[in-house]
Amino acid sequence: MAKDRIYFVGIGGIGMSALARYFRHEGWQVAGYDRTPSPLTAELEKEGIAVHYEDSAAAIPEAFREASRTRVVYTPAVPHDHAELNWFLGRGFEVLKRSRMLGLLGEGKNVMAVAGTHGKTTTTTMVAHFNAVAAGEGSAFLGGISKNFDSNLVLGAGRRMAVEADEFDRSFLQLHPKEAVVTSVDPDHLDIYGTYEAVREAFSQFAAQIRPEGTLILKKGIDLPLDRKDIRQYTYHVNDTDADFRAENLSVDEGGYYTFDLVFPDRRVAGCRLGIPGLVNVENCVAAAALVWCEGFRSDEALREAIATFRGVRRRFDFWVNDPRRPAGTIYMDDYAHHPAELRAMLTSVRKMFPRRELTVAFQPHLYTRTRDFAPEFAEVLSLADRVLLLPIYPAREEPIPGVTSEMIFEGVTAPYKKLIPKERLMDEVEALPAGGVLVTAGAGDIDRFCVSVAEIVRRKNG
Phi, psi of 434, rounded to the nearest 5 degrees: -65, 150
Question: What are the chain's domains?
Answer: 5-97 (3.40.50.720), 106-308 (3.40.1190.10), 318-462 (3.90.190.20)
In sequence order, what are the beta bridge partners of 335?
442
In sequence order, what are the beta bridge partners of 205?
none
Amino acid identity of residue 251, one-letter, is S
Q: How far apart are CA 387 and CA 18, in angstroms?
A: 37
Q: Does position 396 have pLDDT exceeding 90, yes or no?
A: no
pLDDT for the residue 341:
86
pLDDT for the residue 187:
66
Q: Tell me the CA end-to-end span of the chain in Å, nearest whole number.
A: 63
pLDDT for the residue 190:
61
- Give the burial string for 216-242 (b: 16+ CB within 10 Å, else e): bbbbeeeebebeeeebeebbbbbbeee
Q: Does position 254 have pLDDT exceeding 80, yes or no?
A: no
Neighbour count for residue 133 (Cβ, 10 Å)? 21
pLDDT for the residue 383:
96
Residue 7, SS3 per DSSP: strand
% of the chain surpassing 70 pLDDT: 98
pLDDT for the residue 256:
78
For 221-241, the pLDDT digits (tens) are 998 888 888 999 999 999 899
pLDDT band for position 198 (cuts 50, 70, 90): confident
For 412-460, the pLDDT digits (tens) are 999 999 999 999 999 999 999 998 999 999 998 889 889 999 999 999 9
Least confident window among 63-67, 91-95, 224-228, 328-332: 224-228
Q: What is the β-pairing status of strands 160-165 and 110-115?
A: parallel
- Residue 163 near residue 206, CB atoms below 8 Å: no
- Residue 436 near residue 358, CB atoms below 8 Å: yes
The pTM (predicted TM-score) of the whole model is: 0.79
Phi, psi of 198, rounded to the nearest 5 degrees: -65, -35
Q: How far apart are CA 258 and CA 185, in angstroms?
A: 26
Greatest mean pLDDT among 50-64, 315-329, 339-353 lies in 50-64
pLDDT for the residue 191:
65
Choose among 315, 310, 326: nearest CA to 257.
Answer: 310
Choose among 440, 367, 447, 442: nearest CA to 406.
Answer: 367
For 2-11, the pLDDT digits (tens) are 789 999 999 9
pLDDT for the residue 202:
87
pLDDT band for position 171 (cuts 50, 70, 90): confident
pLDDT for the residue 39:
83
Q: How far apart are CA 460 and CA 223, in angstroms?
A: 49
Q: How far apart are CA 239 and CA 277, in angstroms?
A: 16
Averaged confidence pLDDT in the chain: 91
For 15-68, the pLDDT digits (tens) are 899 999 999 999 999 999 998 888 889 999 999 999 999 999 999 999 999 999
Residue 17, SS3 per DSSP: helix
Q: Does position 189 have pLDDT exceeding 70, yes or no?
A: no
Q: Does position 393 have pLDDT exceeding 90, yes or no?
A: yes
Least confident window among 123-132, 220-229, 383-392: 220-229
